[in-house]
Structure 1
């Protein structure tokens, strides 16, 4: 079940009886668990109760998954109205990160207001690990042979010094494609490392600016990588949805950063945490 005779990786991780476990779900689940574990540790360091992150994720994860699916369905409704049975077939792919972030963010906002935790601090705690989870999650797209770019030659891929298993998986029906999943995965991983480094410097980032750094970084990468993909969701015939949203988020995050820096008294530094002496 791991490799087919053609050298490509099977989408199926495990099957037993009528049940099938797909690599896509395994990878997404593992990314979420790692992010939750790391965020829980950081939350404790910043003064949150030990189970605060886990309690919040009980609401945020299912809400985010539903939001990610609804976002995708809204822009592919012509297909799903003809194939209603596929609406719940999330194991086939078809979730949108931005939809998940929007819906999950609303759940986080509700939770923090209920618990009296600063919303901006919670976003700061979560943001780097969301980016790390996104980096890992893109490998689910790799297994599914989706989220790729235009056709290229095998020589082009070999000149990128990619491992053979990636090159082989980028061959779909006899044609090789840009591994845009990999570009976004590496961009997100680099962003995770940079944001963690900046976040841990004293008297640098104020509360809310870790999350804004995430928005700025991811939006830039997604804008350019989205332009290379062949499976983009479109708004009409002239605008890729994710590029438009990336541009809006990039400008909005910078504007909010500048506005918040003008506040007096100034926002507390991130490392000060919450209820910490």
Structure 2
């Protein structure tokens, strides 16, 4: 039976400029970071901050996030790097894939928190400013999985199924079913990268809309808690479609359990924020005061 409709896969995941190899996966990450910084700064400036404040925070948080993302992958798939079949040097080859969003968020947030504490910026305001930006950045980053032909889902007959290329340099060009099973030629797979892209973009739009409509009712930090809940809710069902190797606990993939646990933590955090958090207006006033102090210091140093 001939397939009339499908999503094609790219035949490459990298290209060369002279002796330099450019990985498209890395480019999508870079683009996601740039867009996230821009969105965050625009939201931050409306609260009384400046672009330079966000740029400085990003310089601290982004490397922390990348390290955290890699560490999460190493911890959850140790056999790839250690043991008789492992290669510990592979830990440093992040261009070969293997970054975990949970580690990125945890260490990235920790780095941002430390910087905000040092500079006296309201962390809750930063969290709300970056919430939709993270979803957009994650959506862009999923394009890298498409170019790598990795992390796709179960076989499907849907007209938007993903068709793999068996030719070219893409990482997944020979990983038809991941588990070693033989799939018939022409098998289509759930494009989980696309599902997550759409889910994340819808979430970003919802968070911006909710923030606009309920800014006087929600306490600062609420939007970030909603981001956590939205992302983990989507990641749970999308993760259950994936067929790439993953350790399982009680029949569920590790990332499914992590998503469930983090969703619960996000819901609890949302409730606690409403009860004990500060208003966005109050923290915005503190941010404006801190920004004015910084500007005065800069003027005196000139």
TM-score strictly above 0.5: yes
Which structure has the larger Rg?
A: 2
Matched, 1:269 2:280: yes
CA shift for structure 1 position 272:
6.8
In structure 2, the residue matched to 1:255 is: 268
Contact 1:199–1:210 (8 Å) recurs in 2:
yes
Cα distance per residue 1:162-216 (max 9 Å; x no partner): 7xxx545698654421111111111001000111111112424220101011011
Matches within 5 A, 1:9-48: 9-12=11-14, 14-48=15-49
Separation in structure 2 between the aligned mates of residue 33 and residue 50 of structure 1, nearest angstrom? 12
CA shift for structure 1 position 246:
1.3
Q: What SS class does the counterpart of residue 262 from structure 1 fall into?
A: helix
Matched, 1:189 2:201: yes
CA shift for structure 1 position 7:
6.9
Instruction: Return the TM-score normalized by structure 2.
Output: 0.79
Cα distance per residue 1:203-250 (max 9 Å; x no partner): 242201010110110010011111111125325563422211211121
Alignment gaps of 5+ in structure 1 = 1-5
In structure 1, the residue matched to 2:221 is: 208
Instruction: Return the TM-score normalized by structure 1.
Output: 0.86
Separation in structure 2 between the aligned mates of residue 227 and residue 58 of structure 1, nearest angstrom? 34
- Report how many residues are paired: 261
Stretch deviating more after TM superposition (220-229 or 235-244): 235-244
Matches within 5 A, 1:118-129: 118-129=122-133
Change (3 A) 1:237 1:16: farther
Matches within 5 A, 1:4-153: 8-12=10-14, 14-81=15-82, 82-152=86-156
Give the RMSD, CA atoms, in angstroms.
Answer: 2.4
Change (3 A) 1:218 1:33: same
Stretch deviating more after TM superposition (48-57 or 100-109): 48-57
Separation in structure 2 between the aligned mates of residue 213 and residue 271 of structure 1, nearest angstrom? 21
Larger RCO: 1 or 2 (CA < 8 Å, sep 6+) = 2
In structure 2, the residue matched to 1:3 is: none
Alignment gaps of 5+ in structure 2 = 1-7, 166-171, 177-184, 290-302
Separation in structure 2 between the aligned mates of residue 254 and residue 56 of structure 1, nearest angstrom? 26
Change (3 A) 1:249 1:198: same
Stretch deviating more after TM superposition (168-177 or 104-113): 168-177
In structure 1, the residue matched to 2:168 is: none
Cα distance per residue 1:124-176 (max 9 Å; x no partner): 11111011100111111111011111123xxx232x4x7xxx54569865442
